[in-house]
């Protein structure tokens, strides 16, 4: 049973159910989850429609925002009409899709490699950074899983031409890119398909499917999102220029190298196994389709990194598209170690999970922020606009369940700034007094505890 990938995927699911109902207070990217949860809650509350995702950080405006395709948030919001709104439901959606992606990953690569190779590659994928992000209210691992499902059905369609497989391939490839356009480097699988099946029976016209799957993502990210940003004024992050990105990354070569080596598996042994897999592949004459597709992937991934610039280094989930590729290479390396394979796998898994496990635990240091719900329920009308010194992290504004401004420590101490946002409708200031003293000169204290003071602005 230990050699069965299904057993480990099931265990992966069970482990992630522990604490799945926790609010977004974990160490890594609670801010990113808070943004998504705001969107889901606005769908739940009926404040907006599907094509107009809305956050609570309105800054006096509507809160409608250009972002990734909000299907997961919409699903979360609408399911909440039956089960009640809770972050755990959003986590569960991501987790279930991520687990399906693991099954399809194994089935996909099993078409081309040995059972042992596929098994170790899947386990590596499972304990990579995919482990930590697969139960966050973020679309990244779900997008990766969906795109892998699309790749699986593409090869089914490519070999047999069945209408069902053609439809599913287009659906999942399109949806994977819509959920997160950072999946685009994996489009290099088309090069692999063309070269690997060059002398084999195939339905060549099916290669149009991955090309056509680019169209929905193009329309969403390069037509609709800029329209939302231009109309409603909220951010839409399309990255910077490639030259600026290159300048940023080349000025931090050691940071970039550490990011690429450490973060895929949250350790160094996994990356070393990947390099050993490349060495083994080179010495054993792997088909040229692998090398050509790998080069195309690296070109596309490099372009994505350059476009992202500094964000690529500071956000470790940006590395996710690289993970299945490294897992496949490292799986080849581990499978070739024979009787030592389980030992090598155990070392990699121990290092990786040891560096991620804390993120699945209750974060006592951040739990005090949950008191914001009580403060809001008791003292702030549901439609009143508020400001809070979240310092660009929307987490506390999410816990308030009120709309308004996310300001910095300095801004909440500046009377001219606070008067300006009061003129735009801001009625209350919630000040985290762990960060700065309560600015009592701005208004009357309505409520106060050891962590927060609530002021009604004068």
Q: What is the pLDDT of residues 152-200, one digit of tens each?
A: 999 999 999 899 999 999 999 999 999 999 999 999 999 999 999 988 8
Kindly state the average pLDDT of the residues 370-379.
95
Measured CA to CA in angstroms, residue 385 lies from 81, 112, 201, 250, 400 at distances of 25, 57, 63, 43, 11
Q: How many CB atoms lie within 10 A of CB 6?
A: 12
| 3 state SS of 426 | strand
Helix (H, G, I), strand (E, B) or coil at 447: strand
The confidence score (pLDDT) of residue 236 equals 64
* Phi, psi of 84, deg, nearest 5: 85, 150
Share of the chain above pLDDT 90, in %: 79
Contact 433, 402 (CB under 8 A): no
Indicate the pLDDT class of residue 458, thresholds 50, 70 and 90. Answer: confident
Measured between alpha carbons, how far is 179 from 86 in angstroms, rounded to an integer?
A: 21
| Beta-carbon contacts of residue 182 (< 8 Å; ≥ 6 apart) | 140, 143, 304, 318, 320, 321
Task: Report residue 4 CA to chain centroid gap.
Answer: 28
pLDDT at 172: 98
Question: What pLDDT does residue 293 have?
Answer: 93
Q: Is the pLDDT of residue 347 over 90?
A: yes
Tens of pLDDT, residues 224-261:
999 999 898 876 666 777 788 788 888 888 998 999 99
Mean pLDDT within 362-379: 94
């Amino acid at each position: 049973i230990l050699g069965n990938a299904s057993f480990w995927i099931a265990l992966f699911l069970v482990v992630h159910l522990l604490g799945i109902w926790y609010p977004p207070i974990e160490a890594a990217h609670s801010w990113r989850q808070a943004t998504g949860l705001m969107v889901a809650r606005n769908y739940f509350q009926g404040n907006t429609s599907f094509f107009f995702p809305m956050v609570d950080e309105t800054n006096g405006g509507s809160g409608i925002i250009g972002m990734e395709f909000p299907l997961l948030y919409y699903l979360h919001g609408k399911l909440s009409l039956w089960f009640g709104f809770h972050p755990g439901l959003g986590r569960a959606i991501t987790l279930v899709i991520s687990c399906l992606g693991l099954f399809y990953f194994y089935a996909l690569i099993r078409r081309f490699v040995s059972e042992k190779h596929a098994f170790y590659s899947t386990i590596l994928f499972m304990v990579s950074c995919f482990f930590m992000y697969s139960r966050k209210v973020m679309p990244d691992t779900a997008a990766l899983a969906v795109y892998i499902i699309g790749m699986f059905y593409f090869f089914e369609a490519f070999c047999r031409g069945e209408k069902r497989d053609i439809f599913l391939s287009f659906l999942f490839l399109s949806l994977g890119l819509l959920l997160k356009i950072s999946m685009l480097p994996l489009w290099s699988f088309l090069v692999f398909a063309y070269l690997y099946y060059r002398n084999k029976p195939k339905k060549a016209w099916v290669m149009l499917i991955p090309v056509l799957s680019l169209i929905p993502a193009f329309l969403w990210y390069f037509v609709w999102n800029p329209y939302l940003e231009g109309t409603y004024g909220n951010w839409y992050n399309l990255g910077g220029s490639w030259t600026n990105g290159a300048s940023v990354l080349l000025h931090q070569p050691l940071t970039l190298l550490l990011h690429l080596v450490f973060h895929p598996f949250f350790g160094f042994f996994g990356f070393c196994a990947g390099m050993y897999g490349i060495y083994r592949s080179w010495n054993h004459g792997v088909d040229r389709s692998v090398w050509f597709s790998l080069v195309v992937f690296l070109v596309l991934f490099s372009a994505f990194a350059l476009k992202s610039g500094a964000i690529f280094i500071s956000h470790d989930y940006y590395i996710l598209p690289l993970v299945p590729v490294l897992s496949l290479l490292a799986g080849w390396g581990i499978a070739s170690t024979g009787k030592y394979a389980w030992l090598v796998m155990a070392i990699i898994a121990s290092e990786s999970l040891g560096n991620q496990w804390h993120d699945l635990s209750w974060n006592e240091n951040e739990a005090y922020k949950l008191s914001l719900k009580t403060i809001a329920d008791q003292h702030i009308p549901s439609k009143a606009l508020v400001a809070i010194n979240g310092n660009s992290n929307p987490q506390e504004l999410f816990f308030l369940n009120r709309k308004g401004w996310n300001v910095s420590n300095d801004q909440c101490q500046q009377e001219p700034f606070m008067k300006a946002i009061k003129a735009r409708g801001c009625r209350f200031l919630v000040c985290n007094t762990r960060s700065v003293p309560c600015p009592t000169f701005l208004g009357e204290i309505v409520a106060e505890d050891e962590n927060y003071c609530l002021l009604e602005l004068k």
